[in-house]
Amino acid sequence: MRFPLHRFMLALLSVSFIYAGSAAAQSYPNRPIRLIIPWPTGGATDVTFRLWAPQLAENLGQQIVIDNRAGASSIIGLDIVAKSPPNGYTIGASNIAFGANPFLVSKMPFDSEKDLLPVSLTALVPMVLCVHPSVPARSVRDLIALAKAKPGSLNYGSAGNASASHLVTELFLDVAGAKMLHVPYKGGGPQVVSTVGGETAVAFIPIPNSLQHIRSGRLIALGISTLKRDSTLRDVPTIAEAIGILDFEVSEWHGVVVPAGTPAAVIQLLHQEIAKVLARPDIKERLEGAGAQAVGSTPEEMANYIRREFSRWSRLIKTVGIRID
């Protein structure tokens, strides 16, 4: 029986791709790796990546060059990643906005599901619901009652449209049946400054950005966004326990993505080394000190997590009617 020529060519190509991927992994990395963080310096995503990236560079034996490319709710930076050569030398930092952007932006420059591949979840960052000391609320229930008594009279700051603080606040207001006025800022830094200064009354802020202000009394912490209390703020209840809605759980999350077409062996090597770094007690301690929880998931686990995020935010965005374009 003759073997059709087109099948022979396909088989040959498959072997070539496998060999090329294996060869790429064996020599990878042999030059510096660019890590694009699509948010400004000083924000929660930037802070947590900088805590462990130097150790990853040491493990890989190559420099990791951090390149902050902020703008358009992480779309600008991740578009660069999506359009980079799929060879493992350009990797991207993704976060909660990744799961919401496809439903917020009518014309994405890349396909979030097809053009970027997951490598590993790196951290979960609980958000803390804070108020300026002038706000007459010292519990989550107090704040909800205040917001319901005067719908729209309270304002809340966010790090920008579709940022974690924006999405989590809208989820909280949807669950609570309350309304507040949204005031977006250009990044987590300005958002925190506005709430500390009393320009905005309320904010969901990643723990790394809020901790020093809570400890100094410039912000009042009312509730944590996860199901478990955070070790850095042990006296602050979870929102779930504060309002009796036991499934209220949402975190800012961070992960690594690479361009589609990156060899599987390269992705696996990156995942293994990232997980190894994040499992180190000193790195865990560093992240915990900043209010983040080290993860180090597999690519498959990250893919499943992102699918759940797509489901959660598509529902909320449709219900609330959020748009950023």
Longest Cα separation, the chain: 85
Return the residue matching tokens 């706000």.
Answer: 135
Can 5-124+252-320 and 126-243 be said to share one CATH topology?
yes
Q: What proportion of the chain, given as a percentage, has pLDDT over 90?
A: 71
- The pLDDT assigned to 6 comes to 47
Which pLDDT band holds residue 98 (cuts at 50, 70, 90)? Answer: very high
- The pLDDT assigned to 20 comes to 52
d(CA 259, CA 201): 40
Can you give the residue ranges of every domain in the chain?
A: 5-124+252-320, 126-243
Phi-psi region of 71 (alpha: psi -120 to 50; beta: other; left: phi over 0): left
Contact at 8 Å (CB) between 256 and 91? Answer: yes
Tens of pLDDT, residue by residue over 36-55, are 999 888 878 898 999 999 99
CATH code of domain 126-243: 3.40.190.10
DSSP alpha helix (H) spans, 150-292: 164-176, 188-196, 207-216, 239-243, 264-278, 281-289
Structure tokens at 63: 């420099």
Which pLDDT band holds residue 22 (cuts at 50, 70, 90)? Answer: low
pLDDT at 161 over 70: yes
Please provide the average confidence, as pLDDT, over all residues in the chain: 90
Structure tokens at 14: 């498959």
Contact at 8 Å (CB) between 237 and 230? Answer: no
Q: Which CATH class is domain 5-124+252-320?
A: alpha beta
pLDDT at 21 over 60: no
